[in-house]
A and B are shown apart, each in its own frame.
Chain A
């Protein structure tokens, strides 16, 4: 940690921030640079190559997303006049082109990773069309399980966070559909069980992400992966905890509430001290505030109803949200930009 502090100080110093047009204009407006210096500054920004790198990546991601959306829309249309064999040929040709392209470009290149992500999406499209054509009567969750299984090796070799998150989403959808479409396991038939199971599953994914990022896997280090997974863990546990707070005392709610308490305690220690991250702390505190308010609201409206209960509850909402915001504001100012990793 100590080795990183000078780097952190350097990175957060205003002079070491990327310069933009507004900064140059601000300096001119404040009388700190001359008109000639302003014009030279703006001119040097315009030829800065960062624009082309940004455009290159943005065109790739947005363009690929639109083409994939177009393919999904096309097969969702379920064109009756198109023979089934043509549909399969079309998808499989696209799949092979993407997979071959990824191999040719190499998985170090962003375009190679995006091609492999596209191939993984096309596997899902292929399975959906298979279900359309053959009407096998299989439950929808089986398609998602198969999808997750078929692309698993690609997920492992791609070293691409977006593909990893796609795989996680597919497994989450598979589990939810399985819970809905299949009888819950014996002795496990509580209603909110699926929330706890998914929280554990996503918690394992988060632990893997943190372990990988700590071991220097740069492709996992983007903070968005942490935030997406942590938010899902907290959200999955908050739902049963709210139900528990308002008096639903089933096993699932109890497990969810205990799980949330343990998760928030662990999350606090980790995101406050081990890997400071104010946004992650914020998710936890928002969840805690909601559950506490649900509990107080239940108790208050049982004690007394009418205008006074709403007035008091409104004030309590303000107190709790102010306290949470005060704490987070303080933590954010202590951590500075270290709390918002890139």
Chain B
């Protein structure tokens, strides 16, 4: 293998190949260059800047809520929390959409957080103890659906989707409707597939996709951490994740017919083998990393990489299963992956690629 073959294919390489094969007019290359440069110019800002903005707005929102509580300005009776929520959310949306500077955007994010707080508070006030979490989940989902298109800020969209997912999960856990944990996870996987695989061109949906990817571990930790009260079986999550992975493989490879190729037969067999006895966290981490690599998306790869060791630690502290059984699950899962790698190393096509 020459040195060039070891490098990933670049856009320039691809355009050269297409031009050489008569599939692309060379005169179009400058237009393609302009298109890609314009896209690169709109690249989102670094993760730590977003983290800083989110932390700042969240800290400020707490201060504002405490300020209002101490000043005794907010009445807790219906409909006042909702009225205040509407005031803050409308103000935040207008401020975000009508200004161009960082500080008003930060202020808008903090005000929107305060608005969400009052909406959740209102939901608690109008409901009984039994259905308060259902009410808060409903309110947060409605707010997310309504404000997602209106509030044009990726950080807000990400956080509001994350809040809605968290409220929904809390409601499922509080009401002990365990099968819904798996249904919720399936819905999140469908959303991730929609955002990153079916309509990757709709960048407006990306924050929702990332929020779903970040929130999947919460479902799996709850599936994994049963005690006498909280009890959910693993196998539905394993089935859902294994099927999702197979779908991901065929999408990455370019169609269902590609599943008959040797590498994908191996991938499917390894996935089915893992799904028979491993924990869903391993499959989810693998899925996020494979999707992230296929999309060249550092966020998804990062979520998968962070989730993997976190999951192992959480699994260690899982309560119902002995460490002995867990050790077989872990070591067995690793053995399946290492066996798949060993098989790959014996194949000529894989060896050439690696070398």
Contacts and interface: CB of A to CB of B under 8 A. Distances in A.
Nearest to B200: A22
A254 interface: no
A43 B9 contact: no
Nearest to A43: B254
A45 interface: yes
Interface string A23-62: 1111101101110110011111110111111111011101
Contacts of B316: 69, 73, 76
Contacts of B33: 14-15
Contacts of A67: 330-331, 334-335, 338
A329 interface: yes
A304 B56 CA distance: 22
Given A49-B353, A74-B324, A76-B323, A328 B308 contact: no
Contact of B71 (A283, A307, A313): A307
A238 interface: no
B235 to A, nearest CB: 19
Contact of A15 (B15, B18, B309, B340): B15
Contact of A20 (B295, B328, B340): B295
A5 B328 CA distance: 52
B106 A63 contact: no
Contacts of B5: 49
Contacts of B236: none
A169 interface: no
A317 B28 CA distance: 50
A40 B24 CA distance: 11
Contacts, number: 272
A248 interface: no
Contacts of B286: 62
A319 to B, nearest CB: 7
Interface string A197-227: 0000000000000000000000000000000
A140 interface: no
A14 B10 CA distance: 9
Contact of A71 (B327, B333, B353): B327
Nearest to A70: B331
Contacts of A151: none
Contact of B341 (A26, A59, A317): A59
B324 to A, nearest CB: 5
Nearest to A308: B67
Interface in A302-330: 306-308, 310-311, 313-315, 317-322, 324-326, 328-329
B312 A69 contact: yes
A288 B285 CA distance: 34
Given A52-B344, A69-B330, A15 B36 contact: yes
Nearest to B55: A321
B39 A14 contact: yes
Main secondary structure of the interface of B (DSSP, over half): helix
B273 interface: no
Interface stretch (B42-50, B124-132, B210-218): B42-50
Interface in B1-40: 5-6, 8-15, 17-18, 21, 23-24, 28, 31-33, 35-37, 39-40
A33 B327 contact: no
A14 to B, nearest CB: 4
Listed residue (B35, B253, B327, B329) with the most chain A CB atoms within 10 angstroms of its CB: B327
Nearest to A48: B9
**Interface size class for chain A?**
35 or more
Given A56-B354, A286-B52, A321-B53, A77 B322 contact: yes
B110 interface: yes
B12 A16 contact: yes
A258 to B, nearest CB: 25
Contacts of B28: 32-33
Contacts of A282: 46, 48-49, 52
A27 B49 contact: no
Given A52-B263, A322-B56, A40 B18 contact: yes
Contact of B254 (A27, A46, A60): A46
Contacts of A332: 45-46, 49
Interface string B84-98: 000000000000000
Interface in B60-119: 60-64, 66-68, 70-71, 102-103, 106-107, 110
Given A59-B340, A73-B323, A321-B52, A66 B11 contact: no
B240 interface: no
Contacts of A49: 5, 352-354
A314 B338 contact: no
B305 to A, nearest CB: 10
Contacts of A307: 66-68, 70-71
A208 to B, nearest CB: 25
Contact of A324 (B11, B32, B52): B52
| 6 shortest interchain CB distances as A-B pairs | A321-B56, A70-B331, A66-B334, A314-B63, A49-B353, A63-B337
12 contacts: A18-B9, A22-B296, A49-B352, A51-B353, A52-B344, A63-B334, A66-B282, A74-B324, A278-B46, A307-B68, A314-B64, A322-B103
Interface of A: 14-27, 29-30, 32-34, 36-37, 40-46, 48-56, 58-60, 62-74, 76-77, 79, 278-279, 282-283, 285-286, 289, 293, 306-308, 310-311, 313-315, 317-322, 324-326, 328-329, 332, 340
Given A14-B37, A15-B32, A279-B46, 20 more contacts: A14-B39, A15-B33, A18-B296, A19-B8, A20-B296, A21-B294, A27-B32, A40-B23, A48-B8, A63-B334, A63-B338, A67-B335, A69-B330, A70-B326, A320-B56, A321-B57, A324-B52, A328-B46, A328-B52, A332-B46
